[in-house]
């Protein structure tokens, strides 16, 4: 019997080093790709609903267009649908007599609900839950979801002995050229800022430099050239395989030696891994005000106050500069995220979920597990054993913008500079 397979793409926009896609393609006779969009919905428990920023939307459209164009060159069928419109997904499966459905792992709660709904309604089809863009596969983890480590330190100890290995040479096999003409998109490949080609170049540029040897000293800066690895947008969209980053890192260490800085890069990849499995283990609790705990974090919401935070018009120049950069570029440093999140929760007393929802709309590297997991961490309702993080804004200003360069850069550009 002819096997027609559909492979769902969600934050997995790469053709090279995508083992799940290549393995699935090799086991079907015809292949259809369905790109799942979620721009019509913001999050499961989103309180601050608003339009996704143009910066984020345009970047995602560019990356999707590059992927579709490259895939279309192989003469495979491509469909683009919202994951929240189940009737359209079911219609696609039945219209093309799909026999096999494949979905790589991603910790999105909404994605898992869609997948379960399809399985319930199409019990005559084969469903393949495949490995995703993670360092470990689920069967390798030395614990079950119901006994997930309460802290990152515990998680790190338990996965320390797992050998990480993955074949990074996977390519799509040749398939019959007469396959499912679902979409006729044959536009030229665009040079997407965060597409697969840009990801490959960024990876090469970073590890061909000596920046990894200084990462630990620069990672807390608010801005600067190569102070951050810059991997987060590529990882969030799945245009780079996390194993590619690890492989490059290990090659770098062989040449220049293993240092605290190079180890800290792996440490950050492990934090990403922790939040991915954390999100899968806790499901809907990722979006609840109390999170995993019984404490009562702030539950208030005062629209004018929240608006000052979103627009960068608070009493803190540092927070204002951070929010100006976020709203303009769709990206801010890790330290900046912690500072402004702490300010919203601890100084303004606003329910942390409003901030998480706003970041969801504005971050070009938005990742559901990392964003919501980190906000829980700051609010003290998640993985932080200390019960939350309260940053002293004056101290943070002195540590990371003592001379006011960062504040002047962003506040002056928006004509809101006060004396610094």
- The pLDDT value given to residue 164: 81
Rounded Cα distance between 99 and 166, Å, is: 28
Residue 254 placed within a domain: yes
100-104 vs 126-130, strand pairing mode: parallel
Residue 374 placed within a domain: yes
Contact 407, 339 (CB under 8 A): no
pLDDT confidence band for 57 (50 / 70 / 90): confident
Rounded Cα distance between 149 and 90, Å, is: 37
Q: Same domain, yes or no, for 275 and 312? A: no
Residue 298 placed within a domain: no
Q: How high is the mean pLDDT of the chain?
A: 86
- The pLDDT value given to residue 333: 95
H-type helices in 122-259, by residue range?
152-159, 196-207, 215-218, 232-237, 242-256
CA 286 to mean position of chain CA atoms:
15
Residue 76 placed within a domain: yes
Rounded Cα distance between 325 and 4, Å, is: 46
Contact 101, 5 (CB under 8 A): yes
Predicted TM-score (pTM) of the model is 0.90
pLDDT confidence band for 296 (50 / 70 / 90): confident
Kindly state the average pLDDT of the residues 348-374. 95
Closest Cα partner for 193 from 239, 132, 146?
239
- The pLDDT value given to residue 171: 61
Report the percent of the chain where pLDDT is more than 70: 87
pLDDT confidence band for 169 (50 / 70 / 90): low
List the CATH number of the domain containing 205.
1.25.40.80
Q: Same domain, yes or no, for 27 and 125? A: yes
Contact 373, 289 (CB under 8 A): no
Q: Among 283-287, 289-293, 346-350, where is mean pLDDT lowest? A: 289-293
pLDDT in tens, 69-128: 877 766 556 777 777 788 989 999 999 999 999 999 999 999 999 999 999 999 999 999
- The pLDDT value given to residue 189: 37
93-to-71, 128, 181 alpha-carbon distances in Å: 19, 15, 14
Residue 258 placed within a domain: yes
**How many residues in the chain?**
420
Question: Based on the structure, what is the number of domains in the chain?
Answer: 3
Q: Which of 82, 107, 132 is the last residue of a domain?
A: 132
Kindly state the average pLDDT of the residues 340-344. 97
Q: Is residue 170 scored above 80 in pLDDT?
A: no
Residue 387 belongs to domain spanning: 303-413
126 contacts: CB under 8 Å, gap ≥ 6: 99, 100, 101
- Based on DSSP, count helices (H) and strands (E) in the chain, helices before strands: 17, 5
Query: What element of type H or E holds 128?
Result: strand 126-130
Q: Is residue 44 scored above 60 in pLDDT?
A: no
Six token digits for residue 164: 């990480």
Rounded Cα distance between 13 and 65, Å, is: 10
pLDDT in tens, 237-278: 999 999 999 999 999 999 999 999 999 999 999 999 999 999
């Amino acid at each position: 019997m002819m096997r027609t397979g559909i492979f769902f793409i969600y934050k997995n926009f790469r053709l090279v080093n995508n083992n799940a896609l290549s393995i699935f393609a090799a086991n079907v006779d015809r292949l259809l790709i369905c790109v799942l969009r979620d721009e019509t919905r913001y999050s499961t428990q989103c309180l601050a609903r608003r339009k996704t920023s143009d910066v984020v939307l345009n970047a995602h459209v560019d990356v999707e267009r590059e992927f579709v164009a490259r895939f279309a060159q192989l003469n495979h069928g491509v469909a683009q649908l919202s994951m929240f419109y189940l009737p359209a997904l079911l219609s696609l499966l039945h219209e093309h007599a799909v026999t096999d459905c494949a979905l790589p792992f991603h910790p999105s709660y909404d994605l898992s609900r869609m997948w379960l709904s399809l399985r319930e309604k199409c019990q005559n089809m084969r469903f393949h839950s495949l490995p995703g863009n993670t360092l470990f596969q689920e069967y390798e983890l030395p614990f079950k979801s119901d006994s997930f480590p309460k802290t990152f330190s515990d998680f790190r100890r338990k996965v320390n002995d797992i050998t990480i290995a993955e074949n990074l040479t996977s390519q799509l096999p040749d398939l019959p050229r007469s396959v499912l003409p679902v979409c006729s998109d044959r536009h030229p490949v665009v040079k997407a800022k965060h597409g697969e080609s840009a990801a490959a170049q960024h990876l090469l540029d970073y590890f061909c430099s000596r920046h990894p040897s200084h990462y630990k000293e620069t990672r807390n800066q608010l801005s600067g050239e190569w102070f951050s690895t810059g991997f987060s947008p590529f990882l969030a969209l799945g245009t780079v395989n996390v194993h590619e980053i690890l492989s490059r890192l290990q090659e770098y260490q062989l040449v220049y030696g293993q240092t605290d800085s190079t180890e800290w890069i792996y440490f950050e990849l492990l934090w990403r891994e922790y939040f991915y499995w954390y999100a899968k283990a806790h499901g809907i609790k990722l979006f609840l005000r109390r999170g995993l705990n019984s404490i009562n974090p702030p539950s208030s919401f005062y629209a004018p106050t929240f608006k000052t935070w979103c627009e960068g018009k608070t009493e803190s120049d540092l927070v204002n500069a951070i929010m100006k950069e976020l709203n303009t570029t769709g990206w801010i440093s890790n330290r900046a995220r912690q500072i402004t999140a702490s300010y919203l929760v601890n100084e303004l007393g606003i329910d942390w979920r409003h901030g998480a929802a706003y970041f969801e709309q504005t971050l070009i590297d938005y990742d559901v597990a990392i964003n919501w997991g980190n906000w829980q961490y700051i609010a003290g309702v998640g993985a932080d054993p200390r019960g939350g993080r309260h940053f002293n804004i004056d101290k943070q200003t002195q540590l990371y913008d003592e001379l006011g360069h960062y504040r002047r850069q962003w506040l002056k550009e928006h004509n809101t500079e006060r004396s610094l």
